[in-house]
């Protein structure tokens, strides 16, 4: 099964081709100006470089959030258009889950964080085991103090943080989480390859395009 996966949930942008659970190719840029200016052409150029006609894609996968409201709308609109035109199903994947997958087999709890604005973070807690990535909490939009309470509620201990939210909140996290481990910045981008791999593992069922919706977590 060939999955074309896309993420536009943050300032970074990513496209990947996953086939039968294995990464074929990926294009990720840490910061793009406007997703609407690059995405469709980016998809076309990416597939041409792989020699794969878009008609041979079986499923489209999308990082549905949480994240940038504008970025999510652009990405979802693109995937819906491709899905309708080609009559192929779509799968939505949590961007926080995909971000946690940047450091698989981590020995401690993993906490991906994104800037939610309004002095809040998008965050969730995950744990890795032999069986893969286990979700400990739901995706939330939360003030830093609420995040620290979430961590204590899961037993505390060392926590590995990663994601763009660290650009604003790294010092606050270091000052309030005793055993905080900050992942290197190279692990902070949401990767479309993880979205494709999670989609292939059945993180969500394929649906028709009209059922693909962004996960905003709040109204504004």
pLDDT at 31 over 90: no
Q: Is residue 24 predicted with pLDDT exceeding 90?
A: yes
Tell which wins on pLDDT, 184 or 220. Answer: 184
Q: CA-CA distance, 159 to 108, in Å (whole number)?
A: 6
CATH number at residue 6: 3.30.420.40
pLDDT at 56: 98
Same domain, 76 and 117: no
Is residue 220 included in any domain, yes or no? no
Domain match, 11 and 83 both? yes
Q: Tens of pLDDT along 141-178? A: 999 999 999 999 999 899 999 999 999 999 999 999 99
Say whether both 183 and 194 belong to one domain.
Answer: no
Whether residue 9 contacts residue 28, with contact meaning beta carbons closer than 8 Å, is answered with: no
Instruction: Please state the three-class secondary structure of 23-61 as a single string.
Output: EEEEEEECCCCCHHHHHHHHHHHHHHHHCCCHHHCCEEE
Give dist(CA 10, CA 2) in Å, integer: 25
Q: What is the pLDDT of residue 70?
A: 95
Tell whether 199 is covered by a domain: yes
Q: Rounded mean pLDDT of 61-77?
A: 96
Residue 112, C-beta contacts closer than 8 angstroms, at least 6 positions apart: 96, 99, 100, 123, 124, 126, 161, 162, 163
Residue 211 has pLDDT above 90, yes or no: yes
pLDDT at 204: 83
Number of domains, the chain: 2
Question: Has residue 145 been placed in a domain?
Answer: yes
Backbone φ/ψ region at 167: left (φ over 0), alpha (ψ -120 to 50), beta: alpha
Q: Which two tokens stand for residue 197?
A: 């791999």
Total residue length of the chain: 220
Average pLDDT over residues 25-51: 94
Position 69 pLDDT exceeds 90: yes
Helix (H, G, I), strand (E, B) or coil at 18: strand
User: Is the residue at 60 inside a domain?
Assistant: yes
Do 173 and 200 sit in the same domain of this protein?
no
Burial readout 77-108 (b: 16 or more C-beta within 10 A, e: otherwise): ebbbebbeeeebbbbbbbbbbbbbbbbeebee
Asked if 71 contacts 44 with a C-beta cutoff of 8 angstroms, the reply is: no
Question: Domain range for residue 154?
Answer: 103-187
pLDDT band at residue 181 using 50, 70 and 90 as cut-offs: very high
The reply to whether 86 and 193 lie within a common domain is: yes
Q: What is the DSSP string of 87-149?
A: T--EEEEEHHHHHHTTSTT-SSEEEEEEEEETTEEEE--EEEETTEEEE-S--EEE-HHHHHH
């Amino acid at each position: 099964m060939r999955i074309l996966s896309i993420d536009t949930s943050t300032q970074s942008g990513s496209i990947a081709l996953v086939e039968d659970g294995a990464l074929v190719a990926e294009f990720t840029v840490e910061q793009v100006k406007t997703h609407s200016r690059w995405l469709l052409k980016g998809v076309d150029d990416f597939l041409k470089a792989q020699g794969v006609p878009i008609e041979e894609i079986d499923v489209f996968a999308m990082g549905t959030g949480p994240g940038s409201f504008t970025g999510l709308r652009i990405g979802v609109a693109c995937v819906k258009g491709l899905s309708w035109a080609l009559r192929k199903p779509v799968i939505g994947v949590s961007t926080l889950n995909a971000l946690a997958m940047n450091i698989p087999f981590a020995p401690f709890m993993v906490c991906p964080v994104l800037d939610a604005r309004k002095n809040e973070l998008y965050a969730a807690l995950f744990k890795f085991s032999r069986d893969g990535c286990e979700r400990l909490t739901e995706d939330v939009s939360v003030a830093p103090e609420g995040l620290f309470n979430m961590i204590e509620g899961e037993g505390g201990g060392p926590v590995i943080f990663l994601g763009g939210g660290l650009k604003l909140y790294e010092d606050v996290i270091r000052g309030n989480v005793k055993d905080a481990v900050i992942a290197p910045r190279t692990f902070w981008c949401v990767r479309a390859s993880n979205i494709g791999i999670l989609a292939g593992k059945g993180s969500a069922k394929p649906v028709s395009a009209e059922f693909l919706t962004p996960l905003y977590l709040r109204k504004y």
